[in-house]
Structure 1
Amino acid sequence: MNRIARMASAVAAVAAVVLASVSPVAAQAPTSFTLQPGGKAVVTFEAFCTEFGQVFPSAVQLPDGVVAEPARSALAYGVGKNYNGDAAQALQLQYAIWQTLGTTNSPKGDATAQDVLTNGKTAPVAPQGTSVVDAAAANQVTLTLDSWQPIGPKVQITPTASDNFYGRGQITIENTSQQAVTLFMPVGTRFPATNAAQQTMAGYATNAQVTNPQAAADPAPAQLPSTSGGALNALLPLLALGLLALGGTLHLARRVNSR
């Protein structure tokens, strides 16, 4: 019984480890990815507003840099706390971003906004590689904006104004250079609105699907016809028969001589 109990305990421990490894966790923004020449990456991103008082953008342009550092730090902290994963907390993160940029008439928000304002002061560390914005400026890659739309319905932002405040889009990145490039989208990537009266957005990547060309396989070396081994292999049966015949002849000769 003790042995069975020990085995059951061991099985339970292993099961606990497995369950812990698959427990749901907050989605993390992808770090860097590598594109071979001709390779493409489809990057999904989300973005928050940065200009309080202007309307949510109906369309955005390609990224042209990063937003001011206080907003980047606040955004990185909020995403790290998964405040972007809940609509109510995302609005509080938005309030904090506006306030870090010096907006005095933005709603102050609740404890979530204050947490971001108090603790979201560390600049995000860039992963290994080159910013997609810098790579595009250096003509290493091309960028194509595939889609952009608000996340969820409009919400009450102030007592007198309702609007969207964060959105989601998709961008395709293609390596047009002759070398492999390792890339990343910085937290706080700046997406200007196509209409100057609308808000500029601060974005971050949520997913990256990479497709690289398949490397061409090396051709198999040509097989030359054998001029020695093949002929020898063909002669071996004849040689064996000859040896058998010779052995039989010698044996018969010995018997005859013995008489």
Structure 2
Amino acid sequence: MTFKRFFALTLLLVAFLAASPPGYAQGPGDFVLGETSVMVPANGTATLAFETFCLDFGKAFPTTLGTPDGRADESVLQVVREAIENDMAEDEPLALQLAVWSLREDTPATELYPDDELPVEETAAKLLTDSEDGSLSALRTDRGISLDEAVADGSIQATSSDFSFVETDTVRPDEEPYHGRGTLTLKNTTDKPIEVYFPFGTVFKAANEDEQDIVAYAVELEQLATATVAPTNTPA
């Protein structure tokens, strides 16, 4: 390869990368921090892993996964993203949970449990401060139909048979769970492939008023399943 040809190819590569949206991998099924999109085959299924934190202080952890319903408030999303980027969602989940409840209740994290001194309260307060300078990317319109829209129009059925709370080392004073995890199964009810976008901070509304709504984020793309094809009868 001549130097001129190598130089021309290099310029083309630089131009392609510059035209690509920053911070996003290319193509359906690629994983980005906290969100992903996946192509669900016609009449087929796809699965993805997700984790959650609760939104409504004082209510019970949901017994089943509710219905996707838009995205959480920007302030909540900034806190969750700050925690994920600094490994706090895994290492100090209670600090993240207290920070989210603090925002939602408009109450300092140290006052959520006034009769108990929790070791992560100061960490939660710092997380709130650190997240204030963050910024969020807008919802993508080029990564398929948003999960809540696809479920609402009936083209996608979203279920999770393994959604449950996560056992954590840091517990609430009442020992109630707050951090969740599961695998979301997306079933395409149409005869055409559908690219489904799972936005960072998707809210799942609880089916029971006594249970908490949850904010969810994608962890990794687990599997892209093949279409389910009905068997055909071959004439004898």
Going by fraction, where is strand more abundant, 1 or 2? Answer: 2
Aligned with residue 102 of structure 1, among 105, 108, 112: 105
Matched, 1:115 2:115: no
Aligned CA distance change for structure 1 residues 62 and 173 (closer, same or farther; 3 Å): same
The sequence identity of aligned pairs, in percent, is: 24
CA distance in 2, matches of 1:117, 1:181: 40
Partner residue of 1:173 out of 175, 180, 186: 186
Greater RCO between the two (CA within 8 Å, min separation 6)? 2
Aligned partners of 2:158, 2:197: CA distance in 1, in Å? 13
Q: Which residue of 1 aligns with 2:90?
A: 85
Matched, 1:39 2:44: yes
CA contact (8 A) 1:100 1:117 kept: no
1:183 maps onto 2:196 in alignment: yes
Aligned positions of 1:210-249 closer than 5 A:
210-213=224-227
**Alignment partner of 1:55 is 2:69:** no
Residues 155/45 of structure 1: CA separation in 2 closer, same or farther (3 Å cut): same
Contact 1:38 1:212 in 2 (8 A): no
* Deviation readout 1:204-253 (Å, 9 max, x if unpaired): 111232113399xxxxxxxxxxxxxxxxxxxxxxxxxxxxxxxxxxxxxx
Report deviation, 1:176.
2.1
**Matches of 1:117 and 1:96 in 2, distance apart?**
10
| Cα gap change, 1:196 to 1:124, in 2 (>3 Å) | farther
| Structure 1 residues not aligned, in runs of 5+ | 1-26, 216-259
Q: Tell me whether 113-122 or 49-58 shows the greater mean CA deviation.
A: 113-122
Q: Residues 203 and 213 of structure 2 are in contact (CA less than 8 Å); yes or no, is this contact kept in structure 1?
A: yes
Give the partner amino acid of 1:204: Y
Please list the CA deviations of residues 142-180 of structure 1 after superposition, one character each: whole Å capped at 9, or x if unmatched. 22232221101584434xx32211111222102223333
By how many angstroms is 1:105 displaced? 5.6
**2:57 corresponds to which letter in structure 1?**
F
Cα RMSD between the aligned structures? 2.7
**What does residue 3 of structure 1 align with?**
none
In structure 2, the CA distance between the partners of 1:111 and 1:143, relative to structure 1 (3 Å rule), is closer
Tell whether the 8 Å contact from 2:206 to 2:214 is kept in structure 1 after alignment: yes
Q: Match of 1:140?
A: 155
**Displacement of 1:30:** 5.0
Scaled by the length of structure 2, the TM-score of the pair is 0.67
Q: Quick one: distance in 2 between partners of 1:53 and 1:145?
A: 24
Secondary structure of 1:76's partner? Answer: helix
Partner of 1:129: 144
Runs of 5+ consecutive residues of structure 2 not aligned to the other structure:
1-31, 112-120, 230-236
Q: Please identify which structure carries the higher helix content.
A: 1
TM normalised by structure 1 equals 0.62
Query: Could you tell me whether the CA contact under 8 Å between 1:74 and 1:100 is conserved in 2?
Result: no
- The number of residue pairs the alignment matches comes to 185
CA distance, structure 2, for counterparts of residue 200 and residue 214 of structure 1:
32
**Which stretches of structure 1, 4 residues or longer, exceed 6 Å deviation after superposition?**
none
Closer, same or farther: CA 142–118 of 1 in aligned 2, 3 Å:
same
- Who wins on radius of gyration, i.e. which is larger? 1
Aligned partner of 1:157 in structure 2 is: 172
Matches of 1:137 and 1:199, distance apart in 2? 21
Counterpart Cα distance in 2 of 1:33 and 1:72:
22
Within 2, Cα distance between the matches of 1:54 and 1:106? 17
Matched, 1:73 2:88: no
